[in-house]
Amino acid sequence: MLPRTTADISTHWAFGQDIEVLPRIFEDDITLAVMERPLDSALTLAVRAQLGHQRGLEWHWRGAPGQAMQEDLARRLPAPEAGEALVQDIGTIAEAMAYLFSTDTIGIRLRTLDVAMCPRFHVDNLPVRLVSTYAGPAGEWLPEHAVNRAGLGAPRPDKPDIVADPGAIQQIGVGDLALMKGCGWVGNEERGLVHRSPQPASGERRLLLALDPG
Could you list the residue range(s) of the whole structural domain that residue 34 is in?
Answer: 12-213
Question: Which pLDDT score is estimated for 116?
Answer: 59
Q: Quick check: is 4 in a domain? A: no
Q: Quick check: is 3 in a domain? A: no
Q: Output DSSP code: residue 122.
A: B
Q: Quick check: is 1 in a domain? A: no
Structural domain count of the chain: 1
Please list the ranges in the chain whose pLDDT falls under 50: 1-9
Question: Which pLDDT score is estimated for 117?
Answer: 65
Question: Which pLDDT score is estimated for 181?
Answer: 98
Q: Quick check: is 5 in a domain? A: no
Question: Which pLDDT score is estimated for 8?
Answer: 39
Burial (CB < 10 A; 0-12, 13-18, 19+), residue 24, is middle
Q: In this structure, what CATH number is given to the domain that contains residue 101?
A: 2.60.120
Q: Quick check: is 189 in a domain? A: yes
Q: Output DSSP code: residue 145.
A: G
Q: Quick check: is 85 in a domain? A: yes
